[in-house]
């Protein structure tokens, strides 16, 4: 795997009023990595995602994506560079059919430049490209599912739709904010190969997760956050063995064992 750095955070800090959400987070992600970010509730995972994607401006620190300092850029410009995200709380366009949801990203400047995923959007027929993307991500093309209103789709499909919205931009890096949460075991099992496929295609992934088993099977590196600060970073075994992590994250589980 190449060692080219795609995203570099240095000293990213954010506070909301009196709450220190992030304290000097440094991390470096190489192209083709799958970085897992874990941590207890309220540890600043989603704030970190927001800081990287421009939805929140960090108070201090730097976010460098592909050699460009994107700190404080508006979200649409960051997405235009190829850094996209999914939302933890799914944000589809409920009034539109599922495949029409993808017309919006396919309409963006980036998709028009790159043609969208697999370059199909260059031909101009966004509807076909949208259904193509949905098919690859697990919507059965011949069923009625891609044509149903997004408001009537179950969680599993909405999570996929979130991912599809990112893919439509032909991204270099996707930040997945809890794509596995709320999914059944079988839904999760069908998502895993999809993520693996994305990695093989050279898409870098950052995954914020609570589902550790699924995450560890994918991620080649894991970062642990607690109270907005980085506790440690490394391979999954390395992280699991770390005493600090056990204290911060698995402390409750240890107690549970003694009961």
Q: Contact letters (x/-) for another protein, 162-201, by CB under 8 A? A: ---xx-xx--------------------------------
Q: Which of 181, 127, 122 is nearest to 156 (CA)?
A: 181
For residues 164 and 222, which CB has a smaller minimum distance to another protein in the complex?
A: 164
Contact between 91 and another protein by CB under 8 A: the answer reads yes
Smaller CB distance to another protein: residue 151 or 217? 151
Binding-site member from 32, 39, 58, 92 for another protein (CB under 8 A): 92
Closest CA to 240 of 227, 229, 254: 254
Cβ-proximal residues to 121 (8 Å cutoff; 6+ apart), any chain: 106, 111, 112, 114, 115, 129, 168
Q: Determine if 55 is a binding residue for another protein (CB under 8 A).
A: yes
74 touches another protein (CB under 8 A): yes
Cβ of 107: how many Cβ atoms within 10 Å?
A: 13
- Which residues from 97-126 bind another protein, rule CB under 8 A? 100-101, 103-111, 126
Query: What does the alpha-carbon distance between residue 200 and residue 203 come to, in Å, rounded to a whole number?
Result: 7
**Residues near 27 by beta carbon (within 8 Å), at least 6 away in sequence:** 8, 9, 35, 223, 230, 233
Of the residues 96, 212, 229, 240, which one makes contact with another protein according to CB under 8 A: 96
- The Cα 3–Cα 256 span in angstroms is 40
- Residue ranges in contact with another protein by CB under 8 A: 53, 55, 74-76, 79-80, 84-85, 87, 91-96, 100-101, 103-111, 126, 165-166, 168-169
């Amino acid at each position: 795997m190449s060692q080219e750095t795609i995203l570099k955070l240095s000293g990213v800090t954010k506070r909301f009023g009196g709450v220190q959400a992030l304290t000097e987070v440094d991390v470096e992600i190489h192209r083709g990595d799958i970085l897992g970010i874990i941590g207890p509730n309220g540890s600043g995972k989603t704030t970190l995602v927001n800081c990287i994607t421009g939805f929140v401006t960090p108070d201090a620190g730097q976010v460098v994506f592909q050699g460009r300092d994107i700190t404080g850029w508006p979200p649409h410009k960051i997405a235009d560079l190829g850094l996209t995200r999914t939302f933890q709380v799914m944000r589809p366009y409920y009034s539109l059919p599922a495949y029409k949801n993808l017309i919006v990203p396919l309409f963006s400047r980036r998709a028009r430049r790159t043609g969208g995923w697999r370059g199909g959007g260059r031909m101009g027929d966004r509807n076909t490209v949208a259904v193509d993307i949905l098919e690859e991500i697990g919507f059965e093309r011949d069923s009625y599912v891609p044509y149903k209103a997004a408001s009537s789709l179950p969680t599993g499909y909405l999570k996929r739709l979130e991912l599809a919205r990112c893919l439509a931009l032909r991204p270099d890096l996707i930040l997945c904010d809890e794509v596995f949460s709320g999914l059944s075991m079988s839904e999760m099992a069908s998502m895993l190969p999809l993520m693996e496929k994305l990695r093989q295609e050279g898409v870098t992934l950052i995954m914020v997760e609570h589902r550790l088993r699924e995450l560890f099977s994918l991620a080649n590196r894991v970062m642990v956050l607690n109270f907005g600060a980085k506790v440690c970073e490394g391979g999954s075994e390395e992280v699991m063995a770390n005493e600090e992590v056990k204290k911060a994250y698995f402390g409750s589980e240890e107690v549970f064992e003694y009961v």
